[in-house]
Structure 1
Amino acid sequence: MVHWKSQRTFCSHAHYVTDVEGKLDVSVAEAVGGSYNGVFPAGLLTTLSPAPHELPTLRLYRRNTELPWKVCRAERCAINECVAHGSSSGSWMATSLEGRNMRLLSELELERQLVGPGVRRVQVREGKIRGALYLPPGPGPFPGIVDMFGTVGGVMEFRSAMLASRGFASLALAIFNYDDLPKTTSRIDLDYFEEAVEYLLSRPEVIPDRCGAVAISKSGDIVFSMGTAFPAVKAVVGISSCTMVFHSKFFYKGKFYGKGVEVPLSFMKRDEAGAVSADMTYLFDPDNPLMIPVERADDETHFLVAVGDDDPWGFRASIPAFRERMLRNNRRNFETILYPGTGHIIEPPYGPLIHSSFQRHIPSKERHEEFDKGAAMKWGGKPKPTCDAQVDLWRRMRAFLMQHVRDESHWYQAYLQERRG
């Protein structure tokens, strides 16, 4: 179990058969039932989902990064069959396996920290900028990152906290529905994001001549536009991202910059659990005039595009369209990766697979009473492939950002040379 705000409960469980000595090593043992099957050491974490008495569309994440996850782990046994439970609160978990009473063998509470020792959090309310800056221990200079999420709204800080714990100065930037920012994404002013870049690069702890930008889903259209329009943004990571302006109207320096595509609400399909999705495959076309002109970015700007092939929104089609558009213009400053069995949401390592979650803001101009107060969105994905994708992308993304923001910085190389000399 994992303790969440308001004592919400998320849980998972697995059935194992111990060896003749009653021992169990989940790194090699196969789960024979429960929330997952097979050898899956991180299975109890990846398959955490809302408990039966909770809303099925609750999303497990930390708004307050200073609070650790409380992971309660219990082992119960029936003869030589061991059931390992992972959960988030209380002890409501079943105490029988196939109708048999089970004896509690052990119980343990673990803490998972999101912030490493010495990481500093700075609340940001500078000019129009709203968010939180996470700084690694020490004076720096550190590579700077602007970090954004999609249509969830508010400010999501956990990825920035984890990036700062690994040497990046990361600005968790709010886009909408936070403080005095707009309530929706119907209008996006790129000047706001340019101001965020300028603020980040003005910090004495940050390498001042370039930065990176990371986004998922809807905010991908923002970071691709930043990489195209802002000379200081040299590394762009788009996770399941829109490669065209989606829903919003973009403005830059007071002028119209791009019109967003609209997905008709009639395209929204519900699954058996009531979560909605819409296949946007038809929009990902290299000749679509609404596609962000990423080929215009300068030679020092690099793109990393990561997508899951089990994304019910069809974002897997964004990769061939992106590649063709770049190669057609003789541009090779990009990397793409398609993760098998992975859905729309790819979190940092060992986060739970998010099958669906409730979104209050549906990015559509159309109005319908069925969606006016939000909807449960379907994200797709399978547990083990999603966990593998999380681990790989986290490593790949950090290496990509470190190379193109720190190692290729002319300022940083001169700084090192001066220190050596």
Structure 2
Amino acid sequence: MLRGVSCLAAGLLKASYSYTLLSRSVTLSVSPEIGLADEKLRITVQDLTPKQQVTLRAVVVDDQDCLFDSCAHYEADSNGTVDLHRDPSVGGDYTGVLPMGLLWSLSPSIIEKPFRRLEKKSVHESPMVMEILVHKGHMDPKAIPGHLVTKKEIKRLFCAPGVRRIRLREGAVRGSLFLPPGEGSFPGVIDMFGDDGGLVEYRSSLLASRGFAALALPYFSFEDLPPAMTEFHLEYFEEASKFLSQHPKVKGPGVGVIGTGKGADLALSMMTFLPRVVATVSISGCCANTAAKLTYKDVTIPPLAYDLGRVRVSERAVFDVFDALDDPLDPANSQCLIPIEKADGQFMFVVGENDQNWKSSVYAHIAIDRLKRNGKSNYTLLTYPGTGHRIDPPSSPFCMVAIDRVLGVPILGGGEMKTHCQAQEDSWQKIQDFFHLHLR
């Protein structure tokens, strides 16, 4: 239930949809009906007539009351069954055999403003409530749906039962610490995102659900932290790493860091200068410091500059910032590079080869070349063709274009739905394996 009504009811009231329930004999099975948000679903429809055409839909209302939906066209087999693990979608928002396609293709409804990203904000208070629906015939994805055959509500959890969430005001450190159930101790991981700012918890809560003590660490635009990215002091991040490594539920002595976008180059800097950080995952990051200067004790790393004159704007007013960042290999920018060769811990670089937000694949290879030139082999590279910028945990919907919260404009992220979402599934397990290996 969502604010006293089901997720579907909230969406239907908002959209003024009208359904007609044609049959109660058709069986829709979704497994698990209650499960973690990174789990795969098994969806089958039985007791249809042979070769019957149906449209399957997913509907969810996010924490800001925005309606997201998706649809796909299927045809029952000779026994009247549709199995999404076996049968291809022949139309709708995707085609082909994609068992998780209904979740991967979720996007703002036609009645909503475009380019919003489906993200769970209140990860600990409530699950994400979603409904899977079966409609008669093949309907246009943008048409008002009708002729409802059957439906089922499911719940996607971002915190496993027993996971504890502790809001932090520990010295200067702000954020949320998620602890797995049990006595522990657990490998500790600091989790950071990009230049949208604020507190982002959904990856940390899922990491805790998988056995990590995970600290969701904001670094601007949250509580009494700086409102904008004007300057970064690595002492703040050092305090966070010290707090986590000394927590009684954390194995220690070393901790890991995972970062996306701007959070990724901060993660590289933490690995380089902070001895408590021994394993780092950089997702779609840069090999140089970006956005604002970084200071630590007597060290200052200037930011790699942006040239707004290189930003392109499409006819749909989508901003392409791919070429806006200066070349980190230009000798004039040598002071902006993060000296990762000084680090003794282990790096993992996760990049999409179709990242249109910036050249993360190029930046990863620059970083790796720097390690190699200094006799280092302490790195793993995961590179994914057809994959865009924001590589999230599995089942996160694909979002080629998303509104930037700071700039307030839609930014092109790149990628293609199938390959991008497959990369999310593959990298998620490998990231966990990486941390388990190096945070013993």
Q: Does 2:124 match 1:68?
A: no
Match of 1:181 in 2: 225
Matched, 1:343 2:388: yes
**Cα shift at 1:234:** 0.5
Distance 2:168 2:160 in 1: 20
What is the percentage of aligned positions where both structures have the same residue? Answer: 36
AA partner of residue 398 (structure 2): L
Q: 1:272 to 1:311 in 2, by over 3 A?
A: farther
Select the residue among 159, 168, 192 that pairs with 1:148.
Answer: 192
Q: Is residue 76–residue 84 contact of structure 1 (8 Å, CA) maintained in 2? A: no
Q: How does 1:346-361 map to 2 (within 5 A)?
A: 346-361=391-406
Counterpart in the other structure of 1:116? 160
Structure 2 counterparts to residues 70-149 of structure 1, below 5 A: 70-78=129-137, 94-95=144-145, 103-149=147-193
1:228-254 superposed Cα distances (whole Å, 9 cap, x missing partner): 00111010000001210012111113x
Answer whether contact 1:74 1:84 (CA < 8 A) is retained: no
Aligned residues: 377
| SS of corresponding position for 1:71 | strand
In 2, the alpha carbon distance for the partners of 1:286 and 1:167 equals: 42
Is the 2:285–2:364 contact (alpha carbons within 8 Å) kept by the matching residues of 1? no
What is the deviation of 1:129? 0.4
Cross-structure match for 1:365: none
Q: Secondary structure at the match of 1:206?
A: coil
The residue number in structure 1 matching 2:96 is 38
In angstroms, what is the RMSD of aligned CA positions? 1.8
Say if 2:308 is the partner of 1:265.
yes
Report the secondary structure of 1:236's partner residue: strand
| Structure 2 counterpart of 1:293 | 339
TM-score, scaled to structure 2: 0.82
Query: 1:313-352, CA deviations, whole angstroms, 9 ceiling, x for partnerless residues?
Result: 2222112212211111111000112111110000100100
Partners of 2:328 and 2:135 lie apart in 1 by 50
CA distance in 2, matches of 1:286, 1:227: 24
Task: Please say if residues 246 and 253 of structure 2, whose CA atoms lie closer than 8 Å, have aligned partners that are also in contact.
Answer: no
Following the alignment from structure 1 to structure 2, what is the Cα–Cα distance between the partners of residues 239 and 126? 27
Aligned to 2:51: none
Asked if the contact 2:312–2:319 (Cα under 8 Å) also holds between the matched residues in 1, the reply is yes
SS in 2 for 1:150: coil
Runs of at least 4 residues off by over 6 Å? none
What secondary structure is seen at the aligned counterpart in 1 of 2:225? coil
Gap runs ≥5 in structure 1: 86-91, 96-101, 363-373, 407-421
2:110 aligns with: 52
Q: Is the 8 A contact 2:305 2:326 kept in 1?
A: no
Offset, 1:311: 0.7
What 5-or-longer segments of structure 2 have no aligned partner?
A: 1-58
Aligned partner of 1:304 in structure 2 is 348
How far apart, in 2, do the equivalents of 1:48 and 1:321 lie? 35
Q: CA deviation at 1:18?
A: 1.5
1:391 and 2:425 correspond: yes
| Residue in structure 2 matching 1:25, options 75, 83, 88 | 83
The aligned amino acid for 1:294 is I
Question: Given that residues 341 and 385 in structure 1 are in contact (C-alpha distance below 8 angstroms), is that contact kept between their aligned partners in structure 2?
Answer: yes
SS at match of 1:327: helix
Specify the SS of the correspondent of 1:283: coil
Q: How many angstroms apart in 1 are the aligned matches of 2:315 and 2:79?
A: 44
Mapped partners of 1:210, 1:285: distance in 2: 32
CA–CA separation in structure 2 for the residues paired with 1:118 and 1:6: 26
What's the CA shift string for 1:107-140, capped at 9, x where partnerless? 1111100100110000001110000000001121
